[in-house]
Homo-oligomer: A and B are copies of this chain.
Amino acid sequence: MGISELQEALRRFAAERDWEQFHTPKNLATSLSIEAAEVLEHFQWLTDEQSRNLRPEVREQVGHEIADVFLYLLQLADQLQIDPLKAAEEKLALNAAKYPVEKAKGSSKKYTEL
């Protein structure tokens, strides 16, 4: 499935369960944040090095949590009629302007401090 097919499947999934009443943009944004924290939980006590070499069963669990974030992201974008791919491409262009290579190279500073 592509993004549109996933969004269509999610719409059907919610409609069949009569869940549209719960899926306000506010609640979906809340769920997005909760699921993102569940991704992060798997990395909580790992070193950076360990996070690059997840055990297979942890990697699989992280995959499920990433999927949950993605599914809520698609539902929120769908409700707000935002095209996630187009929004991402535009944001990447904005980021390139905020972080020009010659200034940002090797630095983790925020663009406001470069």
Contact = CB atoms under 8 A, between A and B. Distances in A.
Interface of A: 1-3, 6, 9-10, 13, 16-19, 21-22, 24-27, 29-49, 51-52, 54, 59, 62-64, 66-71, 73-74, 76-77, 79-80, 82, 84-85, 87-92, 94-96, 99, 101, 104-108
Nearest to A67: B91
Given A34-B37, A73-B69, A3 B44 contact: no
A66 B73 contact: yes
A62 B82 contact: yes
Contacts of A41: 34
A70 B87 contact: yes
A40 B34 contact: yes
Given A30-B30, A31-B44, A77 B87 contact: no
